[in-house]
Structure 1
């Protein structure tokens, strides 16, 4: 059982995968456990960036770039602006429940133990014959602007109409 673990950590790409996976899981846990909204957004941005690192390991550079540009950049900044523009009342503290925290920790450790055991006992098939494309971004661009150009344009019109509708609704509520 530990031989599989030693083999796993002997590869550099597996170590980088483990690092990004721990960051993604840690960011998600921090996002759920923080009480201040701005700290939650920063933890969510950490999760988004670590997912982009995982996409780079999978040789999906375009998806990683979009992850950083849209999610880690635009969505996180949009959430921060939303927090800054809204009025927040004094945050009330939840009562401490030590038994609840202990049971949650025991349940999480049991889940990770079961998953660790199941992964160690599993035999995974090797990927045979799969070669990634020479330039993934070029292939996505060809598909997007040749084969799927009509759905792409319809989506842009739909997003523009939704944006204008959101502005109209916001102006009505303001008055």
Structure 2
């Protein structure tokens, strides 16, 4: 679902689903989803399908748990998703997330999904909602749930999109789905 006609950009922020603990010698980057995570991602995929949340562009961390979350979301998508992979979503702070949102996109791209990690996702949401801190606290005061989906709308693109004027549309968690 694209934003309403008076909105320039819809932002979907997705935290990867629950991941297994690293085995001895395993890098954090390589942690896979566990059974709970696969179930969470499947529930989120179903909720996205029912609500017709089909992003025009997906930017996904290259960490295994994010790629596996994306793979499960893709199985329920009715469209072929345009996907960009980003090492920075794993290695950098929330500025990398904001840079992706602010970067110039083709006008045909009206919605962007970022699949990434905490605390960067919470920090990104806090910047996007800085003009509405009460909404941020209500939505994410207990933290960004694994396989959670935060939906925001922005009336502007580019650097203006990340200036704190985003509007909260909703938060889905696997518990809700």
TM-score category by the smaller chain?
A: under 0.3
Larger Rg: 1
Q: Which has the higher helix share?
A: 1
Bigger fraction of residues in strand = 2
- After TM superposition, the score normalised by the length of structure 1 is 0.24
TM superposition score normalised by structure 2: 0.24
Higher relative contact order (CA 8 A, sep 6+): 2
